[in-house]
Structure 1
């Protein structure tokens, strides 16, 4: 397991690379050019800038999250071909600086959905919260105003240039069924994966978050069966999954541990986090500790250890602790604690393996 840490870049993240360097076992940053609109080619000089910044601290930049997919590709519009060509050029440029994995998603309109960004927990920390009743009753524009209320910290998946056309996007998706979305994804993959193979980059799709339909929009990457269908669209080891325990695990019917064992060869990137699920369908993000949420984080890490996972992993959304002012879900302190919890489990499994070998 190769530990990495999501970083939003100089001038766009209150966390510095100097601070990330002090977290034991972190060898790389997970990055993106968040100000480049979806569909545009990433400029080579900007990519080189990030590499130079990471090199100063000895970090790799092997994982990019995300090269966003333009909505015209998801909608299957004639204009998609030009956006796909731009995507190919970006893959080629990322390969030049050693990128190994590109995380992306194919969620219509919203990359992820929460109803509250700083819900207080019993211990006084805060975390991102999903309230089912609100999502089922609120106007999407109200939610947009709530989520994007802090212009100083960009929220991935809630980019202003996309959301300002929200009503038009909803109209465009009225005639797009789930099966249509599958066909549009396959078209995209058939174009992209050969380029990824040529440059030895693994494309790793992120599951839908949450893994069910919201606001009547179609969803695809939601469960084990759908993930099998996904991987069958294009038969290539460069076509894989970013297995996010929190996204998939917010549905109690999903067994994340089983998914790790089944899709072991197609998981180049793992997001590990915990959520507490309520009987009414609400959920809140918690510390990574197993007993603080509804997911078996110990079992999840053990599954990765059992399969001999050598891919990249990062602590996903953390709480906001110690009065840290930070981007929702992406503070320094709780993610650092999460890393040490994950390493603690991993190291204990390694020790047990060594002891068994002596017997």
Structure 2
């Protein structure tokens, strides 16, 4: 596997020379300053690529070239936005950057309710609390129909939260779900948004009446439009699974499990239509057998995210140590090293360790926590390579 690292550009507190020193070979990044839906200019791509290469690294994967909401819900301007997307892909192809990770999740790019779940050793990680999210839907967004989406047990917990939550806790929950986990990924809402709840509600209304089958058709339409340029420049499109892999906010999720991935790969049966295999997102689905899925989709996987989760008895999930949990990373790495060697991989998320605190890292993207996981995974890869060669 090619050992890559997600980097957020020159404004990132983590610098490229630091990454070179710890054994990183390639960079996963994007032109974060370009507004969602606009064309990525060839000159800007080339300048960014040259900057990365000046540190002895390679811009291996674009993560991400965002798919505008209007493409997802089939707005009046979707064809214009797809044309812009195609031009950006052509410019990437001309510059020699040919793997593009993207997602087709409506409104939310990913969702957590707690950014600092405390472990006994003093480190912290990301956490998804179903009852807190249900509270957010019902009492903050006012999505009354959400009561039909949750069990009586969860709704009783929501009542308890509602009776005791402070204004500060409510503000933190809004900031976590709407802003902190979205703003740094070319999201719809940025840091400093004056009224994030109202903006969020307005985004949800765009999907009124759109169910799973319609969202699937919109995704198929998008992929069919872009495949010719992908073929021309040998660009690998690799969709990221939905995170978490179940419905939220009454919105459909269409990349959650084996059935969904089967549909996706058959609906647009082109070798350039592939998968970002995210062990973390997939392991948060209770029915997903992650090594089984890795084996089945190895040939259509273009990029790998390595992290793991544990699902708790109440349905919550927490991000686990990289060598523990339901992701079963050692098994997954072995499968890819045998079935599709050389894939770019990056450590996805990491714990916040003591000396990471206060460094203003994006949620999940600490330096020392990811470096710890990077070292563990590097060791696994080298051990498996040695075993396979002998």
What is the 5 A alignment of 1:194-209? 194-209=228-243
What is the 5 A alignment of 1:276-287? 276-287=310-321
Decide which structure has greater helix share.
Answer: 2
Q: Which moved more, 1:137-146 or 1:252-261?
A: 137-146
User: Equivalent residue for 1:19?
Assistant: 18
What is the CA distance between 1:322 and its match in structure 2?
Answer: 2.8
User: Equivalent residue for 1:6?
Assistant: 6
- Alpha-carbon displacement from aligned partner over 1:150-178 (angstroms, at most 9, x marks no partner): 69x94326442696732222112121011
Q: What TM-score, normalized by structure 2, do the two folds share? A: 0.85
User: Equivalent residue for 1:342?
Assistant: 377
Match of 2:50 among 49, 52, 62: 52
What is the CA distance between 1:49 and its match in structure 2?
Answer: 2.6
1:302 aligns with 2:334: yes
CA contact (8 A) 2:180 2:363 kept: no
Match of 1:213 among 226, 233, 247: 247
Q: Which moved more, 1:79-88 or 1:257-266?
A: 257-266
Match of 1:160 among 186, 189, 200: 189
In 1, distance between residues paired with 2:327 and 2:96? 34
What is the 5 A alignment of 1:1-359? 1-11=1-11, 13-24=12-23, 26-139=24-137, 143-147=173-177, 154-156=183-185, 158-160=187-189, 165-290=199-324, 293-324=325-356, 325=359, 326-355=361-390
SS of 1:160's equivalent? coil
- Alpha-carbon displacement from aligned partner over 1:32-53 (angstroms, at most 9, x marks no partner): 1123222111133322231122
CA contact (8 A) 2:42 2:95 kept: no
- Alpha-carbon displacement from aligned partner over 1:193-216 (angstroms, at most 9, x marks no partner): 111111111000000000000011
In 1, distance between residues paired with 2:83 and 2:20? 36
SS of 1:119's equivalent? strand
CA contact (8 A) 1:106 1:185 kept: yes
In 2, distance between residues paired with 1:352 and 1:215? 46
CA contact (8 A) 1:62 1:99 kept: yes
In 2, distance between residues paired with 1:345 and 1:150? 32
Per the alignment, do residues 159 and 321 of structure 1 end up closer, same or farther by CA in structure 2, a change over 3 Å counting? farther
- Alpha-carbon displacement from aligned partner over 1:205-229 (angstroms, at most 9, x marks no partner): 0000000000111100000111010
SS of 1:102's equivalent? strand
- Alpha-carbon displacement from aligned partner over 1:280-313 (angstroms, at most 9, x marks no partner): 11111132122xx333121111211221422111
CA contact (8 A) 2:245 2:281 kept: yes
CA contact (8 A) 2:239 2:276 kept: yes
Q: CA RMSD in A?
A: 2.0
> Gapped runs of 5+ residues in structure 1?
none
> Gapped runs of 5+ residues in structure 2?
142-170
In 2, distance between residues paired with 1:144 and 1:212? 20
In 2, distance between residues paired with 1:82 and 1:165? 24
- Alpha-carbon displacement from aligned partner over 1:43-93 (angstroms, at most 9, x marks no partner): 333222311220111111121000001111111122100000000010011
CA contact (8 A) 1:62 1:98 kept: no
Q: What TM-score, normalized by structure 1, do the two folds share? A: 0.92
